A and B are shown apart, each in its own frame.
Chain A
Amino acid sequence: MSRDITIVGGGVAGLSVARAVTDRGANVRVIDRAAGLGPHACSWWAGGMLAPFCEGETAEEPVVRLGQEAADWWQAKTGAVTHNGSLVVAHGRDQSDLRRFARRTTDFETVRGDDIATLEPDLGTRFQNGLFFPSEAHLAPRAALAALREGLERDGVTFELAEVDPHDIDGTVVDCRGFAARGDIPHLRGVKGEMAVLRCPDVTLSRPVRLLHPRIPLYIVPRGDGIFMLGATMIESSETKHVTARSLLELLSAAYAINPAFGEAEVIEIGVDARPAFADNMPRIGRRGHVITANGLYRHGFLLAPALARMVAAYIFDEQSPEVFDEHYS
């Protein structure tokens, strides 16, 4: 007889946990407050960069280590991963930021103007120095989540539409509600992010490009077919409704700096949400009664969900205490 597990929340955390426990043989149902994938989930707005080494610039060590599981996992479960590395560039006046980024990260090659033009012809020789992280990857979040869900449905996982309190559900429950669980999980905070999607058939990029800037970390991720995702602001705020003109201005200026042809791009989407995060910006697995919580993926949803899901499964099936166990929440 296999084990029944209910997962509350159908974003990147919930679906990844569903995949991991289904692979361990569980009977799984996923309950979400909306039917299907959509803008209610923070992961809907994600960049989809699988860039553990770049994140090492500011993130704690486990993010770099655990994040290295992500590209293979997503490839195996969805087949939606592009393995083209990622590129970090800075304007001439911000070279000190590039040097600092290089000191704090590993697994990159230093590239000059000509190398950059070879990697990304549409950047030309606009940037004289950059860092190329060849082993990093990216994916299109919405396509990846759709593929993940499809696979789960194929394997018999059921999806229910309801807004529920995880503690009202019997049996083994995993609470993957993200920021919506804020009232139940102490110290969970929101970090606001704003993004835009552009259509610009004149520009081709093969990999995510990060543009270093003293104040704002900006990146542009190619989605294929002339579509680009532009992200993302990081604001200590749980507000999830308004995109400010200033944020949009900063995002669009970055795109324009990467290639002036983006000036002619069509803005097809503008998005905003709050990332669920704990004080150290690290994810946590916790337990209260029969409810296991997996939350706090911060800006590392697609990067850390595979490792988080693996740990939840090991916790349930092997009683193995997770590396990111939250001792304060029980």
Chain B
Amino acid sequence: MRDFYGTTLANGFMLGTAQYPSPAILADAFTQSGAAVATVSLRRESGADRAGQDFWAMIRDLGVHILPNTAGCHSVKEAVTTAHMAREVFGTKWIKLEVIGEEDTLQPDVFGLVEAARILSEDGFQVFPYTTEDLVVADRLLNAGCEVLMPWGAPIGTGLGLNNPYGLRAMRAHFPDVPLVIDAGIGLPSQAAQAMEMGFDAVLLNTAVAKAGDPVAMARAFAMAIEAGTLAATADPMEPRDMAAPSTPVIGKAFLS
């Protein structure tokens, strides 16, 4: 398994911590899922005087790797400020970098993303940029110092799955050695399995679990799907073919007609 800035994860499940019915259900969902990474968004207003510390302490107590994010940031400056605050609060160099460019689709502002990624990388951060499947942008992000890329499956919160399988396959093929995480748009475990089967290193999701009727059961369902997809990817899947191929041997069968 590819490592993330030198850290090897137990599995490819990264789970968000927002929008759960309660912190108790959030904690159960993590226990049941065995997710290796918890993403947590930092509101600047809570960070300023540490007023969010009760919640953060609970996230730390989950005992998994913490990936703070800059969710909801619309400018480079905002994202950089939030990243610094996150580093102080959680004591990690990891930062999931989000610079939102469009309000309806919440798609990344890739220009601002590359700029912020450069600033943060030079400042010692290990950046996980939320990007599109665009290969040129991906290349710029790598040049800016990123060693992990997080292409979207579909717009945040839509649950539409892998919207552009061709583009994502191309990205996987184009960057065989870069850890790639499908981030956003995953609605069902089957979609997470598909991403892992395609050779992605992890999936990051939040709404699909947090807003499920039973978040704990759904977290477990995703864990199983991600494990299945991971295993399938390493098992050298068969190639599809146009004509049927009998799975039982034909030789030796009685020749009747």
**A contacts, CB < 8 Å to B:** 58-60, 100, 103-104, 189-190, 192, 214, 235-239, 242, 244, 278-282
Give every chain A residue within 8 A of B46 (Cβ-Cβ): 192, 235-237, 239
Known: A214-B157, A242-B45, A244-B45. Contact between A236 and B22, CB under 8 A? no
Tell me the bound Cα distance from A100 to B58 in angstroms.
Answer: 28
Assess the A238–B51 pair: CB atoms within 8 A.
yes
How many contacting A-B pairs (Cβ < 8 A)?
56
Give every chain A residue within 8 A of B54 (Cβ-Cβ): 189-190, 236, 238
Known: A189-B54, A237-B52. Contact between A281 and B21, CB under 8 A? yes
Tell me the bound Cα distance from A279 to B52 in angstroms.
Answer: 14
- Say if the beta carbon of B25 comes within 8 Å of chain A: yes
Give every chain B residue within 8 A of A236 (Cβ-Cβ): 23, 46, 52, 54-55
**B contacts, CB < 8 Å to A:** 21-25, 27, 43, 45-46, 49, 51-55, 58, 157, 211, 213
| Chain A residue with the shortest CB-CB distance to B57 | A189
Assess the B27–A279 pair: CB atoms within 8 A.
yes
Give every chain B residue within 8 A of A278 (Cβ-Cβ): 24
Listed A/B pairs (16) with beta-carbon separation below 8 Å: A58-B21, A190-B51, A235-B43, A236-B46, A237-B43, A237-B46, A242-B45, A278-B24, A279-B22, A279-B23, A279-B27, A279-B58, A280-B23, A280-B24, A280-B25, A281-B22
Give every chain B residue within 8 A of A59 (Cβ-Cβ): 21
A239 contacts which of B22, B23, B49, B58 (Cβ < 8 Å)?
A: B49
Assess the B22–A100 pair: CB atoms within 8 A.
no
Tell me the bound Cα distance from A239 to B46 in angstroms.
Answer: 7
Assess the B51–A237 pair: CB atoms within 8 A.
yes
Give every chain A residue within 8 A of B23 (Cβ-Cβ): 189, 236, 279-281
- In whole Å, how far is B77's beta carbon from the nearest beta carbon of chain A? 16
Assess the B45–A239 pair: CB atoms within 8 A.
yes
Assess the B51–A100 pair: CB atoms within 8 A.
no
Q: Contacts A214-B157, A235-B46, A279-B27 known; list 6 others, CB within 8 Å.
A: A58-B21, A60-B22, A236-B52, A239-B46, A239-B49, A279-B58
Known: A104-B213, A237-B46, A244-B45. Contact between A189 and B22, CB under 8 A? no
Assess the A239–B21 pair: CB atoms within 8 A.
no
| Chain B residue with the shortest CB-CB distance to A57 | B21
| Chain B residue with the shortest CB-CB distance to A192 | B51
| Chain A residue with the shortest CB-CB distance to B23 | A279
| Chain B residue with the shortest CB-CB distance to A236 | B55
Give every chain B residue within 8 A of A280 (Cβ-Cβ): 22-25
Assess the A100–B211 pair: CB atoms within 8 A.
yes
Tell me the bound Cα distance from A278 to B27 in angstroms.
Answer: 13
Tell me the bound Cα distance from A144 to B22 in angstroms.
Answer: 28
Give every chain B residue within 8 A of A238 (Cβ-Cβ): 51-54
Give every chain B residue within 8 A of A239 (Cβ-Cβ): 45-46, 49, 51-52
Give every chain A residue within 8 A of B52 (Cβ-Cβ): 235-239
| Chain B residue with the shortest CB-CB distance to A281 | B22
| Chain A residue with the shortest CB-CB distance to B41 | A236
Give every chain A residue within 8 A of B21 (Cβ-Cβ): 58-60, 281
| Chain A residue with the shortest CB-CB distance to B212 | A100
| Chain A residue with the shortest CB-CB distance to B53 | A238
Give every chain A residue within 8 A of B24 (Cβ-Cβ): 278-281
- In whole Å, how far is A256's beta carbon from the nearest beta carbon of chain B? 16
Between A58, A236, A244, A281, the greatest number of chain B beta carbons within 10 A of the residue's beta carbon is seen for A236
| Chain B residue with the shortest CB-CB distance to A187 | B54
- In whole Å, how far is B211's beta carbon from the nearest beta carbon of chain A? 7
Give every chain A residue within 8 A of B45 (Cβ-Cβ): 235, 237, 239, 242, 244
